[in-house]
Structures are given as structure tokens and as C-alpha cells.
Structure 1
Amino acid sequence: MGEILFLAHRIPFPPDRGDKIRSHHVLKALAQLGPVHVATFADDENDVEAQRDLEALARTSIVSQRTKPMWRAGAEAVLRGQPVSLTAFHDAAIEQFVERTLRSRDISAIYVFSGQMGQYVPANWRGKLVIDFVDVDSAKFEAYAKSGNPAMRLINAREGRVLKAEERRLAARADTSLLVSHEEAALFASRLTVPARVEALENGIDSATFDPFSTLPDPVFAGLPGHKIVFTGQMDYAPNVAAVLRAARSLMPRIRSVIPGVQLHIIGRYPTAHVKALDGVDGCRVWGRVDSMPAYLRAADLALVPLEIARGVQNKVLEAMAMAVPVVASEGAATGIGAQHGREIMIGEDDDALVRHSIALLRDRQRAKTMGLAARRYLQDRRSWQAVLAPLPELIGMTGQGESHAA
């Protein structure tokens, strides 16, 4: 029985942000198929503390602390002609762990989570190789290059260009390249220069954790006056920052002019200085990291997701829908969800539409409740993690195996 090497750019514990939620569930599913050996990175103390959870699941593992400053990663990238995304995640200890594991263990499949980790697959590897790109990172940097100051435009344009070349190289090597949605898979395939197997492996949702019927609302949050609009996510992630700035500056003043007292609650760890500056301004409240996202969603009246640059499937949308919170989303934020506009979600093509939909749902609480419940039913029927990860055994060549092989 073969074993699996799992390479991830962030430790899949705790599953408290989009990419870690996906890698967490993928890793748990792989551990049911065979012994798994994991090489990954820690960003902060919470990640380091989560190493015990990883060790309980993996047969062997290494968690390397990311300490390389971005200026150094950038310098290395220029000297090597590589994306900064690769040099930022280059680590000698992980390189040695991979070499040792492949030499000493019966590894039959390598699962690479995020393209940054493809650099650790040796040139002579001949077993199964699955690369989960999640979304098309190069396209994201190309979008970044269209705005901002001239220096950042040049930097982002270069990153998009060299990252696109790396994605093509990895796709040509992989048995299968995975993307988080059919739309993202089609975009990725359209950017390749040689034929490759590209498939969608969608994100699921843990509807037992995100369950409005068994979750008590956070008492402090629930006790605040007025309608509560929420935006959730990692608040040092540039598209999220841009989205809340858009919401605070362009959308909320117009919503509050019709429904006074409405507040926008920005919930998620690592808020940047620009995000923190919104706290207390025109109905905005910045919370930072919270103990239980379901408890806050349980008390929310509306989730507003006005993302302008959105790659892949937005977990923030899935989580709100699972908690039966009505969602108003931009077209980009709704991509890959598959929910029907007007039934399970409201999709706005511009600021006018986002404001109009938000006001309508805040005014009509019965319609909002009906939409939230329809959204939850939609996810329960189509998006359980067990269902979406069912293709994994075939993808890594381990069909017919099903017992747990945790350490």
C-alpha cells in the first residue's frame, strides 16, 4: 500500500482562513487513504501551536516557520528569474525533509497544495502528481498590475508573468491540475501552451460547524443595536481590504441614508492600518480575530461581499450561506458558487445594484429569512466536504482504500 506526501504552503490547522479550510479537509481525506507525510509552513504562533494537531494526523511532518523578509524573497526572485511566490516559500529544511521522505518511504503519490510548493517535487519523480492550484494566482497579479502606483504595477506585472510560466511548467508535469471551480479550471486551461488534465475540485462546507440551528449567537455582538451587515475574511489580504474600503466608502453611506443605524462589521484576523482606520467611521466596526465565526454570523442580518478581484470560490460566501445569512455579493464573489440569483443569493453587477439589494433584504426580513434558509439547503444538498472530495482516491491512484492511517 503506497503512502502520500502532502506539500502545503500553510499548515492546515487551525482551519480558520480560506486556503487552510480547503487544505485541512483535503489532508483529512487523504489520511483515510494511506499514511501521509506533510511538509508545510507556519505563519504565526497560532500555526506553531497547531503543530500538535498535524502530528496527530500525519505519519511524519515538518513545520517550518516563515521568517524570510519579503525584500529578501524579492531579491532572490530577481536573481533567479523566479516568482516572489516561490522564493518566499523556499526552505532548505523542507527540501531535505522531502528528499529524505522520498528516499526512505514508499511514496506513491505527491499532493501539492498551492503552486508555491511545486518547487519541492524532484525532477526525477515518476509517481502520481496532483497539483491543487486552488485558483489562478498569475491572473490575480495581472489584475493587481492594472491599478496602484507605477512601481507596484511593474512588480505585480512581473509576478503575474513569471508565475504564469511556473503554472504552465507545473501543469505539464502533473497528472492532474486542480482548481476550485469550473470557471477557474477553464481559465487555467486557456492559459496553458501544451495539453494538460485540468479539473475542478470544488470547496465544500462543514454544515455541522456552520449550523444556525445549533449555534448560539455571540451575546455581545447580538446585543448591539441596529441592523448588522458583516464582511468576514483575512483582513491583510489585498482583495478583502479593497472590498471593505469599497463597502465603507461607497456602499454604506447610501445604505445608511435609507436605513439609519445600519452598521458594517468587519470580522477577521490581521486587519491592516487602512482597515483599522475604518473603525467608528460611518457605521463601521472592526473586530479583528474572533473566537467563533459561526456565533457572529448567527447574529448577522446580512453578509455583504463586494469583492472586485475574486479568484476561486469564496469561503466567506459559503459560510454565510451555511449559517442561513442572506448574502449580497459582487459578480466576482459569486463566481463558482452556483447559487441562483434571487433565490439563494443576490448578485450585484455594480454599486447601485449592491446597495439596492442590501436595502431590499434589510427592509423585508421575511424575504431575507427565506433566502437564507434556501441558501443553507442548497449547500447541504451540493457542497458537503465528503461529496466534493469523493474523486480524491481516483486522482491519487488509491481507489479501494478507506481506513484511517493517522500516526
Structure 2
Amino acid sequence: MTMRMLLVTPFLPHRNVGHGTATVVSRFVQYFAARHELSIVTFYNGLEELALVDEVRQQGASVTALPFPGAGFWYRQRTRINTAFDRRPFMVSLFDVPPMRSAIRQLLRTSTFDLVHIDTTQMGSYVDLVGRGGPKTALVEIDVSMKPLRRRYEQAASWPERVVYGREWRRMCRYEPELCRKFDMVFAVSDEDRQLLATAGVADRLALFRYGVDEDVFEIPPKRQFDSALLFLGSFMHEPNVDAAEWFVTSVLPLVRARVPGATVHLVGGWQEKVAHLGRHPGVVVTGRVDDVKRYLAMADVCVVPLRWGGGVKLKTLEMMAAARPVVATHVGTEGIHVEHGTDVLLASSAEEFAARTVELLRDRGAREALGQNARRLVMREHRWQDNLERMERSYEMLVNAHVTTLRRST
């Protein structure tokens, strides 16, 4: 059956946007626009992103793109003040803007849809525009926001941060389960997130959507010439990635270089101005956004994922594993991926442990090759886009054909 679908997503779904959510949703668009009637309403951030809109349209989707006001300093400050007087979390209020509501309302009024698919908790409040008896609704919880907010609160370095993040975490713990219950279906991206939502009372409408990896990443050949090259991938728009890069460069890398003096780490990802200062440290190269991540994966001897907080499945970890590169990561960095320490990746918690694992791999070619090949096999088995998007498509066809629609209330 051909479905008429409306996709509401916070970031322009194009890989060159440089955000993990944009990359994931770009694969959703590529798959569903070729098989169904797909309309997209999204934000863009700056003229560089606006120039990519036509490329998304060329895949067969109708696209309505609006400028995102939340990137502006004063807009964010006004939103923070406003959230002091309402019960919604800051990020929800930041993404809930009148022009987006008007655009979605207009599309729902002038077009007929079978399904409204909304990405992320931040955008979930727009579900109240879908009336009873209207199209079915689905929320993809790219990141169950309760979890990273709890981690951020627990790791807060000062009492003002603890106050702010503690309030946001408690608000999200109330808001997110209530939001999920307004949708006909909710997709979690990992077993851990699905269990967290089930515990919060959303068990009767949960499904699982696993991320995938582009097929050409599996084709990256083994590295022949060893030069102690380390790689960290990630958009530095994302605060947990900034924290991870700073922690690795200041706390882990000096310990690595004390034992492997030639070790060098490349920090690869957009919004590099947030980590540009790290390039002054010995053994650090800040590249910014690159057109072809595969080239940097190919040059890496060891990949690192030193995330200390955050949530959701890390697409960068999957890409590193798919490239058959050995990975040293924190438990946060491999969350949602069925890895086994010592078989698929090496896991570490402290700076000393992370450095020791990294040095262990730099000094042992056999261990690097074995770990990388095991990692690639795991990703090939569980994280291929075609397989996982086909499962989502079947879930949506069943949902559209079902007769039960959730009672929706205004947020």
C-alpha cells in the first residue's frame, strides 16, 4: 500500500547538516520518499542548510523548511525566562514556535495524510494539532530525554548547574511519558530506551527502530600503514560531544602520549569553533566538518568514543564499527548497541582506564584487527538500513490499517 505521510523533524534531513538526527532522518526520507507520498516540515539553521533543501526535494518529497529561531542568543534567553513560569522543559519550549505550528496546521488542513511521524521529544508537542479521527501518529524517540538530563544533573560541576539541570530533569520525567501517551505508536531506538519508556507507563504502544549504517562503510579496507592515528567523530553542535572531546584531550590523551609519543587524535565534525581551542594541545588536529567521513575512518588505527553523558544510540560508533576499526568507548558511547567488552569493543570508565585501553590497542595489531572484524560483523547483522527501515514500514502499514486511535489532548 502507498501511504501519505507527514514527517515533522527538527533538523533538515540531509547528511551534510552534520547532526546525527539529520543523518538518521535523511535515510528515512531516502527510503520512504521512494515508496510513499512524503511531505516534510522542518527547521533549517542558516543559509548553508537552506541551500540543501532542493537536494531533499529531489528525492521525491515535498519540503516546507522554516528558519530555526532557537539558535539566537536572545531568543534562547527569553525562552529560559518563559519556562520559569510553565511546566514544560526548556528544549520543548525552544522548538515549539508559532510559525511551525502554522505550517503544520496548514498542511493538515489542505492535505490528507494517513500518518504523521514526529521526530524527537522536542518536536512532540505538535501532536496536539492532529485532531481525533485524523491521521495516525508516531513519535520516534531519537533520544529519550529523561536519561541524558539525569546524567547531566548528576555530573553538574556547580550548584547553579545542579539547580538548572535538576529542574529540567524533573520536568522531563513528568512531561515525556505524558507526551508519549498521546501518540498511537512510539519508537525507541534501543532496548534500554524501550525499557525506560515501558517503566514510565508507555508499554502498550512501543516499538523498536534500530539505526543503520550506509553500505559503503562496510567496504572500507584494512589500514596497512600504522601511525598511531586516533579518531573521534561527532557534531560539536551537541554539548556531550564537546564535553567528550575536552575530557579526552585534557585527561586521556596526555596519558596515551606518555606511552605512545606519536599518538595523534583527529576531532572530526561540524561546529568546530566550540573545540577549536583544543587544537593548541600537542597531538590534536581539529578538522571541522568534512565531506567524506570515510576518508578519516580509513586513516584511523583506533577510534575513540569518550562520551560521559548524553543518550540515544551513537551513529558515529556504529560507523566506526562498520568500518572494522577498533573502538575504545565509555558505556554511554556504546549504549543501545549489543557489544561485548573485549570481543566487539573495549570499554572504559576513568581517564586512566580509557588511556590504558587505547595504548593496548595501539601496541597490538592483532587485537586491533580482531576487534575491528568482530565489530563489523555485529553491525552487519543488526544495523543495516534496508532491514531496519523495512521493519518500520511494516509497523506503519499495520498502524495505518488499525482502527484504534489514541485520544489526544492539548499540551
Task: Say whether the fold is shared (TM-score over 0.5).
Answer: yes
User: Of 183, 191, 214, which residue of structure 1 is paired with 2:192?
Assistant: 183
Cα distance in structure 1, aligned partners of 2:308 and 2:330: 7
**Structure-1 residue corresponding to 2:271:** 270
Cα distance in structure 2, aligned partners of 1:208 and 1:61: 27
Shift of 1:139: 2.1
**Structure-1 residue corresponding to 2:255:** 254
Indicate yes or no: 2:368 matched with 1:368: yes
Q: Map of 1:4-83 to 2, 5 A cutoff?
A: 4-14=5-15, 16-68=18-70, 69-83=75-89
User: Could you say what the CA RMSD is over the residues aligned between the two structures, in angstroms?
Assistant: 2.5
% identity of equivalent residues: 24
Q: Map of 1:323-402 to 2, 5 A cutoff?
A: 323-397=323-397
User: Of 118, 128, 131, which residue of structure 2 is paired with 1:112?
Assistant: 118
- Give, as a single letter, the amino acid of the residue that structure 2 aligns with 1:119: S
Query: Structure 1: which 5+ residue stretches go unaligned?
Result: 402-407
8 Å CA contact 1:128, 1:397 repeated in 2: no
Normalization by structure 2: what TM-score?
A: 0.88
SS of equivalent residue, structure 1 residue 110: strand
**Structure-1 residue corresponding to 2:239:** 238
Shift of 1:171: 1.3
**Structure-2 residue corresponding to 1:405:** none
Cα distance in structure 2, aligned partners of 1:314 and 1:322: 13
What stretches of structure 1 move > 4 A for 4+ residues in a row? 398-401
- Give, as a single letter, the amino acid of the residue that structure 1 aligns with 2:56: L
Q: Map of 1:52-201 to 2, 5 A cutoff?
A: 52-68=54-70, 69-121=75-127, 122=129, 124-126=131-133, 127-146=135-154, 147-192=156-201, 195-201=203-209
Segment drifting more, 236-245 vs 77-86 = 77-86
Cα distance in structure 2, aligned partners of 1:135 and 1:198: 14
Shift of 1:226: 4.0
Name the CA shift for 1:397/1:100 in 2 (closer, same or farther; >3 Å): same
Name the CA shift for 1:2/1:103 in 2 (closer, same or farther; >3 Å): farther
Segment drifting more, 285-294 vs 55-64 = 55-64
Q: Residues 162-186 of structure 1, C-alpha deviation per residue, up to 9 Å, x if partnerless?
A: 2232211221111221111101111
SS of equivalent residue, structure 2 residue 15: coil
- Alignment size in residue pairs: 392
**Structure-2 residue corresponding to 1:227:** 228
Cα distance in structure 2, aligned partners of 1:280 and 1:226: 21
Shift of 1:388: 1.4
Shift of 1:195: 4.8
8 Å CA contact 1:205, 1:385 repeated in 2: yes
8 Å CA contact 1:210, 1:294 repeated in 2: no
**Structure-1 residue corresponding to 2:406:** none
Shift of 1:399: 8.7
Name the CA shift for 1:288/1:59 in 2 (closer, same or farther; >3 Å): closer
- Give, as a single letter, the amino acid of the residue that structure 2 aligns with 1:106: T
Normalization by structure 1: what TM-score?
A: 0.89
Name the CA shift for 1:44/1:209 in 2 (closer, same or farther; >3 Å): farther
- Give, as a single letter, the amino acid of the residue that structure 1 aligns with 2:356: R
Q: More helix by proportion, 1 or 2? A: 2
8 Å CA contact 2:197, 2:203 repeated in 1: no
8 Å CA contact 1:14, 1:50 repeated in 2: no
